[in-house]
A and B are shown apart, each in its own frame.
Chain A
Amino acid sequence: MSKSVQDIWRDITAKAWEDADFRRRLEEDTPTVLEEHGLPVHDGVDYKVVADTETLRHLVLLRPAGDVSVARLDDGEPLTDENAGF
C-alpha cells in the first residue's frame, strides 16, 4: 500500500532531525525535496519550511479558498426561465 502524504511528511521530518545536510537542502530547495519524495508540488506556489525550536512555535493560518453562497450564483447572471434545468 502506498504511503499517505502524512506518512511521507513524517518520514521527511524525522530525516531532517537526524541529517543536517538533508535539512539544509529541505529548507533551501523545498520543492525539489518534496517532489523527490513523491509529494505534490504545484506550479505557481512557493513552499517554505519553517522549524519550531524550544522557544518558538509556528502556527499556520490556513488560506480560505473562497466564500460560497447561493446569492453569489446570480452574480451577473439573471435568473432564467430554465433555472431549475427544466
Chain B
Amino acid sequence: MSGGGAAALEWAAVGPDAVIVATPRRAWLHRPEPWGPDPFRAPMTHAPGDRAATGWLLEGAVALGARAAGPAPSPPPLSRLRWIWRLAGLYHLTTHTPGLLRVAEAKFRAAGRAALADWAAKKAREEAGHDRLALRDLRALGLNGEAVVEALQPPVARAMVAHFRAAADEALPLGVVAYAHAVERLALRADAAYVARVQACMPRGVDATRCLRVHSAAGSDADHVDENVALVAALPAAERSRIALAARDAAQVSSTPSAEGHVSDAWLAGVLETLGEVGQS
C-alpha cells in the first residue's frame, strides 16, 4: 500500500462498462465514463490484495451476478413436495463437487501452485459425503433417495454442474475457486429462520435438513467463505480480477431460474407416484 493512510482498494472490470471497486468496508459498482481520466479503467496490478477489500470485491461480484439473473418468478409455497425437489438439486450439486475439486487440485499442483492445490484438496475432503446427506434427508421422508435423484434432475442444478465442470476444465482452473466462493456465499443467505421454515413443513420427528444445514449460515460455509477470501487475496492482481469476473458468472448461473419455469406440484407428485413413492404434499 502506498501513501500513509491511503485506502486499500481492489477493483476489477466485470464488463465493458462496469467495474467493481471495493474498499475494506463496502463494494461499489462504478461505471467508467467513456472519456476523461478514470483511475479504475486500468486493471489493478498490486499484490497481495488487502484481505478485507478482496472480500468486498468478491461480495460485489457475487451480488452483481445474482442481480444480473433478474427477478425469479414467484415460487410455489414451501412444502414437503417442493423440498423433495430441492433436495434432489442439492444432491446433484454436491455429488460432483469432490471429484471436480480433485481435478482442479491436480492442475494446480502440476502448475506449481501449492496454495491453490492445498485449498482444493482441503475443500474436496470437506465436501465429501454431502450428497449422502441429501440422500439421508430423502430417506427420512420415507423415500428411496437414489430413485428420487435419478428421476428428479432440476435444470438449474444441471446448469450449475455444467458450469463447475467447465471451470475445472480450464488449464489453470481459477474458475473453480470462483464457483466455490459464489455458491458458498449465496448459501449463507439461508439462515436459521429459513432452516426452521423448511423443518416446519416436514412431518413431526422427521429431520430432512441435514444437507441444508451444512450449506447454510448455520453450517461451515461462513468459515469457507473467509478461507476463500484469504486464498484469493494472496494471488496476483490479474488472477484476483479473473476470479471476481468468474464469481460474477457463477452467481448468475446459480441465480438464473429455469427457462421452463417452476415444475408443478402435480408433476412432482406424478413422478413420485411413478416411483412408487407417496407424492403427498
Contact = CB atoms under 8 A, between A and B. Distances in A.
Interface of A: 5-6, 8-9, 39-40, 60, 62, 64-70, 72-74, 79-86
A66 B255 contact: no
A65 B29 contact: yes
B27 A67 contact: yes
Given A68-B60, A68-B64, A70-B62, A82 B37 contact: no
Interface of B: 20-21, 26-31, 33-40, 56, 59-60, 62-64, 66-67, 69, 72, 74-78, 82-83, 85-86, 89, 154-157, 160, 185-186, 188-191, 194, 198, 254-258, 262
A82 to B, nearest CB: 4
Contacts of A62: 30, 33, 38-40
8 contacts: A60-B37, A68-B27, A68-B59, A68-B64, A80-B78, A85-B156, A85-B254, A85-B257
A68 B59 CA distance: 8
Contacts of A64: 21, 28-30
Given A73-B67, A86-B155, A66 B29 contact: yes
B64 A85 contact: no
A60 B27 CA distance: 20
Contact of A84 (B31, B74, B76, B186): B186
A39 B63 CA distance: 31
Nearest to B17: A65
A81 B28 contact: no
Which are the 3 A-B pairs with shortest beta-carbon distances?
Answer: A86-B154, A82-B75, A85-B156
Given A67-B26, A74-B189, A83-B186, 6 more contacts: A73-B67, A73-B189, A79-B191, A82-B75, A82-B262, A86-B156
B61 to A, nearest CB: 8
Nearest to B201: A81
A68 B63 contact: yes
A39 B35 contact: yes
Given A70-B185, A81-B198, A86-B85, A9 B36 contact: yes
A67 to B, nearest CB: 5
B244 to A, nearest CB: 12
A5 B35 CA distance: 6
A9 B27 contact: no
Contacts of A5: 34-35
Contacts of A6: 34-35
A8 B262 CA distance: 50
Given A84-B254, A86-B89, A86-B154, A69 B34 contact: no
